[in-house]
Amino acid sequence: MKIYYYNVEKLSDKSVYSKYYEMMDEDRKNKIDRINQEDKKMQSLAAGILIQHIRKTEKEDSKILIDKYNKPSFEDGKIKFNISHSNKYAVAAVSAYEIGIDTEDVKRKNKFTMKERRIVNTCFAPKEQKYIYDIGTEQGKLQRFFRVWTIKEAYVKMEGTGIIRPFYTFEVDFEEERPKIIADKEMMITEMKIGISNLVSVCHNINDSEYTIEEL
């Protein structure tokens, strides 16, 4: 398993942005052009940079297919990949097995608001709710919320269902040192942090537990 990440802030330099934009294929350029917000444009371009790097290192030249749940895959199926981005960073995971990755900048919010409470109460399983509410501080609740969210997001992205699958239909167990998805013994969760505050969760096959991580 390989993890790559890219600091989106590099693209705030117009010359750097233009250089990489011109390197993109027409599909990626069209996707970027349809986005109105500048920060989202840079995130999409960063995702394209990661995909180009994967193509180069894995010698992958087949086209990318998008399934009905919006999950991308290489047509020849030799390697699997997944992309996520939040605030300053875009991340990618690569494996011979199905894989999902999610990142959230945990510092982009400083309060555990009613919005997060509604998500916890309606979308998370009872033990996950207890895991979040058992910690006393509001900041602690927010940190645990993002931890549960990124793991669940990584899992449904690995499955290929995305948020079509309700989050309350499967449960994350935090009782052991490494969190795990209950009822799916084939998958593992690996967590890491990039930059100052981006939490990353990767859902991957138990046969692919070793990983490398590289900043582009």
Whether the pTM exceeds 0.75: the reply is yes
The per-residue pLDDT for range 2-24, each reduced to its tens digit, is 999 999 999 999 999 999 999 99
Q: How many Cβ atoms from other residues are within 10 Å of residue 58's Cβ? A: 14
Which band of pLDDT confidence, cut at 50, 70 and 90, is reported for residue 136? Answer: confident
Angle CA 106–112–115, to nearest 5 = 105
Q: If we measure between CA atoms, which residue out of 87, 183, 194, 199 comes closest to residue 145?
A: 199
Q: Please name the residue ranges forming H helices in 59-180.
A: 114-123, 126-133, 138-159
The per-residue pLDDT for range 172-191, each reduced to its tens digit, is 999 888 999 998 888 999 99
- The CA distance from 152 to 165, in Å, is 10
Which band of pLDDT confidence, cut at 50, 70 and 90, is reported for residue 107? Answer: confident
Which band of pLDDT confidence, cut at 50, 70 and 90, is reported for residue 27? Answer: very high
pLDDT at site 67? 86
- The CA distance from 101 to 134, in Å, is 27
The per-residue pLDDT for range 145-159, each reduced to its tens digit, is 999 999 999 999 999
Assess whether pLDDT exceeds 80 at residue 202: yes
Rounded percentage of the chain residues whose pLDDT exceeds 90: 80
Q: Which domains does the chain have, with CATH numbers?
A: 2-102 (3.90.470.20), 104-202 (3.90.470.20)
Which band of pLDDT confidence, cut at 50, 70 and 90, is reported for residue 108? Answer: confident
